[in-house]
Amino acid sequence: MVLIGALAYLGWMMSWRPLVSVSSDYFPIAPGAALSFVLLGGTVSANIVWPESKTVRYVSSVLMLVLFLLLAYLIIEYLADLQSSIEYSLFKTDDKFLGISTVRMSPLAGTGFILCVLATMSFLAPMKYNQIIKASVVSAFLAATLGVFTMLGYIYNAPLLYGGDVRPMALLAALSFVLLGLSIILSAGPDYWPLSTMVGDATASRLLRAFLPLTIGIILLLGFFEAYSLSTWIPDSPALSIGTTAIFAIIIFSFIIGRISKSIGGSIDRAERKRQEAEENLRTLFDSSSDAIFINDPDGNLIDVNTTASDMLGYSKNQILSLDMSGIIDPAFAGGLQASKEKLSKEGRAVFESKYRGKNGASFPVEVSAKRIEFGGRTVNLITARDITERKKAEAFETSFGRMLETSISEIYIFDAGTLRFLLVNRGARENLGYEMNELRRMTPLDLKPEFTAETFAQLIEPLRNGERETVLITTYHQRKDGTRYDVEVHIQLSDYELRPAFIAFILDITEQKKTERALIESEKKYRSLFESMNEGFAFHRILTDSENKPVDSVFLEVNDAFEKFTGLNRKEILNKRVTEVFPRIQDIQPDLIETYGEVAQTGKERKFEMYFQPLDKWFSISSYSPQPGYFVAIFNDISERIASEQAQKQLIDALAASNAELQQFAYVASHDLQEPLRMVASYVQLLEKRYGKMLDSDARDYIWFAADGASRMQTLINDLLEFSRVETQGKPFLPVDTNHILKTALANLEAAISDNGARVTSDPLPDVYADASQLTQVFQNLISNSLKFHKKEIPPRIHVSAQQTAGEWLFSVADNGLGIDSRYSEHVFTIFKRLHGREEYPGTGIGLSICKRIVERHGGRIWFESTPGNGSTFFFTMPTKGNVQE
Amino acid sequence: MKATRSTRRFNVLLVEDNPGDIRLAREALAQLGMPVDLEIKTSGAEALAYLHREGDYRGAPRPDLVLLDLNLPQMDGRVMLEVMRQDAVLQPIPVVVLTASRSMDDISSLYKASANCFFTKPMNYDDYVQVLEHILNYWLPLSQTACGDDS
Q: What is the mean pLDDT of residues A702-717?
A: 86
The pLDDT value recorded for residue A12 is 54
The pLDDT value recorded for residue B150 is 43
In DSSP terms, which residues pair with A387 in a beta bridge? A366
In a domain, A859, yes or no: yes
| Residue A302 and residue A407 in one domain | no
* Pick from A172-176, A605-609, A643-647, A836-840: least confident: A836-840
Asked if the Cβ–Cβ distance from A676 to B100 is below 8 Å, we say yes
* Span A673-688, pLDDT tens digits: 777 888 888 889 988 8
Between residues A200 and A392, which one has the greater pLDDT?
A: A392
The pLDDT value recorded for residue B109 is 75
The pLDDT value recorded for residue A874 is 92
In one letter, which amino acid is A491?
H
Among chain B residues, the shortest Cα distance to A687 is held by B125
Residue A725's nearest CA partner among A826, A834, A850, A639 is A850
Instruction: Among 3.40.50.80, 3.40.50.2300, 3.20.20.60, 3.90.320.10, name the CATH number for the domain at B10-140.
Output: 3.40.50.2300
In DSSP terms, which residues pair with A575 in a beta bridge? none
The pLDDT value recorded for residue A517 is 57
**Do the beta carbons of residue A116 and residue A181 sit within 8 Å?**
yes
In a domain, A521, yes or no: no
In a domain, A528, yes or no: no
Tell me which of B78, B105, B125, B128 to substitute to probe the interface with A (most A C-beta atoms closer than 10 Å): B125
Q: What is the mean pLDDT of residues A498-505?
A: 84
Helical H segments across A232-330, by residue range: 238-288, 307-313, 317-323
**Predicted confidence band at A802 (pLDDT cuts at 50, 70, 90)?**
very high
The pLDDT value recorded for residue B146 is 39
Question: Got the DSSP string for A618-673?
Answer: EEEEEEEE-SSTTEEEEEEEE-HHHHHHHHHHHHHHHHHHHHHHHHHHHHHHHHHH
The pLDDT value recorded for residue A513 is 58
The pLDDT value recorded for residue A101 is 61
Q: Which residues of A touch B (CB under 8 A)?
A: 668, 671-673, 675-676, 678-680, 682-684, 686-687, 690, 708, 711-712, 715, 719, 722, 730
CATH number at residue A786: 3.30.565.10
Beta strands in A417-512 (DSSP E): 422-425, 471-479, 485-497, 500-507
Cα A335 from Cα B145, distance rounded (Å): 158
The pLDDT value recorded for residue A555 is 86
| Residue A616 and residue A664 in one domain | no
pLDDT at B1 over 50: no
In a domain, A527, yes or no: no
| Residue A434 and residue A353 in one domain | no
Asked if the Cβ–Cβ distance from B24 to A675 is below 8 Å, we say no
Q: What is the mean pLDDT of residues B61-82?
A: 86
**Predicted confidence band at B6 (pLDDT cuts at 50, 70, 90)?**
low
Chain B contacts of A678, Cβ < 8 Å? 123
The pLDDT value recorded for residue A887 is 47
Tell me which of A674, A675, A679 to substitute to probe the interface with B (most B C-beta atoms closer than 10 Å): A679
The pLDDT value recorded for residue A800 is 94
**Predicted confidence band at A856 (pLDDT cuts at 50, 70, 90)?**
very high
pLDDT at A229 over 70: no
The pLDDT value recorded for residue B58 is 85
B 24-83 → A contacts, CB under 8 A = 24, 27, 71
* Pick from A779-783, A811-815, B117-121: least confident: B117-121
In DSSP terms, which residues pair with B143 in a beta bridge? B5
pLDDT at A839 over 70: no
* Span A746-776, pLDDT tens digits: 999 999 989 988 889 999 999 999 899 999 9
In a domain, A67, yes or no: yes
* Span A731-741, pLDDT tens digits: 888 889 999 99
Asked if the Cβ–Cβ distance from B104 to A686 is below 8 Å, we say no
Beta strands in B6-113 (DSSP E): 10-15, 36-41, 65-69, 95-99
Most confident of A48-52, A528-532, A784-788: A784-788
CATH number at residue A590: 3.30.450.20
Task: State the nearest Cα–Cα gap between B28 and chain A, in angstroms.
Answer: 10
Task: State the nearest Cα–Cα gap between A744 and chain B, in angstroms.
Answer: 24
Question: What is the percent of chain A where pLDDT is above 70?
Answer: 86
CB of B103 within 8 Å of a chain A CB? The answer is: yes
Dihedral of CA A223/A226/A228/A230: which sign?
negative
Chain B contacts of A725, Cβ < 8 Å? none
* Span A418-466, pLDDT tens digits: 889 998 888 888 888 899 888 898 999 989 888 888 888 988 888 888 8
* Span A182-224, pLDDT tens digits: 887 877 777 777 777 777 777 677 777 777 777 777 777 777 7
The pLDDT value recorded for residue A518 is 67
| Residue A243 and residue A310 in one domain | no
Between residues A337 and A716, which one has the greater pLDDT?
A: A716
pLDDT at A4 over 60: no
Beta strands in A663-748 (DSSP E): 735-738
Tell me how long chain A is.
887
The pLDDT value recorded for residue B147 is 42
pLDDT at B149 over 50: no
* Span A244-266, pLDDT tens digits: 777 877 887 788 788 778 877 78
Is residue A301 classed as helix, strand or coil in its secondary structure?
coil
- The whole domain housing A475 covers 393-516
Most confident of A56-60, A390-394, A701-705: A701-705
| Residue A780 and residue A716 in one domain | no
* Span A634-661, pLDDT tens digits: 988 888 888 889 889 999 988 888 887 7
Candidate from B105, B123, B126 with C-beta closest to A679? B123
Which among A356, A387, A418 is the end of a domain? A387
Asked if the Cβ–Cβ distance from B123 to A668 is below 8 Å, we say no
Is residue A498 classed as helix, strand or coil in its secondary structure?
coil
In a domain, A24, yes or no: yes
Cα A20 from Cα A675, distance rounded (Å): 199
| Residue A33 and residue A148 in one domain | yes
Candidate from A672, A673, A683 with C-beta closest to B125? A683
Cβ-in-10-Å burial (0-12, 13-18, 19+) of A392 comes to middle
Q: What is the mean pLDDT of residues A107-116?
A: 79
Asked if the Cβ–Cβ distance from A675 to B128 is below 8 Å, we say no
- The long-range contacts involving A77-83, CB below 8 angstroms and separated by at least 24 positions, are A78/A107, A78/A110
Residue B96's nearest CA partner among B74, B66, B121, B120 is B66
State how beta strands A500-507 and A411-416 pair: antiparallel
| Residue A103 and residue A31 in one domain | yes
Pairs of CB atoms within 8 A across A/B: 50
Cα A62 from Cα A78, distance rounded (Å): 25
In a domain, A175, yes or no: yes
In DSSP terms, which residues pair with A500 in a beta bridge? A497
Cα A319 from Cα A311, distance rounded (Å): 12
In a domain, A524, yes or no: no
* Pick from A4-13, A358-367, A444-453: least confident: A4-13
Cα B150 from Cα B142, distance rounded (Å): 13
In one letter, which amino acid is A468?
E
Asked if the Cβ–Cβ distance from A684 to B125 is below 8 Å, we say yes
Asked if the Cβ–Cβ distance from B27 to A687 is below 8 Å, we say yes
Cα A789 from Cα B134, distance rounded (Å): 36
The pLDDT value recorded for residue A286 is 83
| Residue A107 and residue A217 in one domain | no
pLDDT at A48 over 60: yes
Q: What is the mean pLDDT of residues A461-488?
A: 84
Cα A356 from Cα A333, distance rounded (Å): 8
pLDDT at A33 over 90: no
Asked if the Cβ–Cβ distance from B126 to A675 is below 8 Å, we say no
**Predicted confidence band at B145 (pLDDT cuts at 50, 70, 90)?**
very low
Determine how many CB atoms are found less than 10 A away from the CB of residue A499: 6
Chain A contacts of B76, Cβ < 8 Å? none
Give chain A's mean pLDDT.
80
* Span B15-32, pLDDT tens digits: 998 888 899 999 999 999
Asked if the Cβ–Cβ distance from B20 to A722 is below 8 Å, we say no
Number of structural domains (chain A) is: 7
Cα A866 from Cα A848, distance rounded (Å): 18
Task: State the nearest Cα–Cα gap between B122 and chain A, in angstroms.
Answer: 8
Between the CA atoms of A246, A247, A248 and A254, what dihedral angle is there, to the nearest 10 degrees?
A: 100
Q: What is the mean pLDDT of residues A691-704?
A: 89
| Residue A707 and residue A758 in one domain | no
| Residue A178 and residue A258 in one domain | no
**Predicted confidence band at B151 (pLDDT cuts at 50, 70, 90)?**
very low
Q: How open is the CA angle A265-A269-A270, to the nearest 5 degrees?
A: 115
In one letter, which amino acid is A817?
N
Cα A103 from Cα A167, distance rounded (Å): 11
State how beta strands B36-41 and B10-15 pair: parallel
| Residue A404 and residue A508 in one domain | yes
The pLDDT value recorded for residue B148 is 41
CB of B18 within 8 Å of a chain A CB? The answer is: yes
State how beta strands A607-613 and A618-625 pair: antiparallel
The pLDDT value recorded for residue A801 is 94
Between residues A276 and A248, which one has the greater pLDDT?
A: A276
| Residue A443 and residue A314 in one domain | no
Cβ-in-10-Å burial (0-12, 13-18, 19+) of A691 comes to exposed
* Pick from A30-44, A595-609, A835-849: least confident: A835-849
Angle between the N-to-C axes of helices B19-32 and B125-139, in degrees from 0 to 180, rounded to the nearest 10 = 70
Q: What is the mean pLDDT of residues A293-316?
A: 84
Between residues A237 and B98, which one has the greater pLDDT?
A: B98
Residue A725's nearest CA partner among A784, A654, A669, A781 is A669
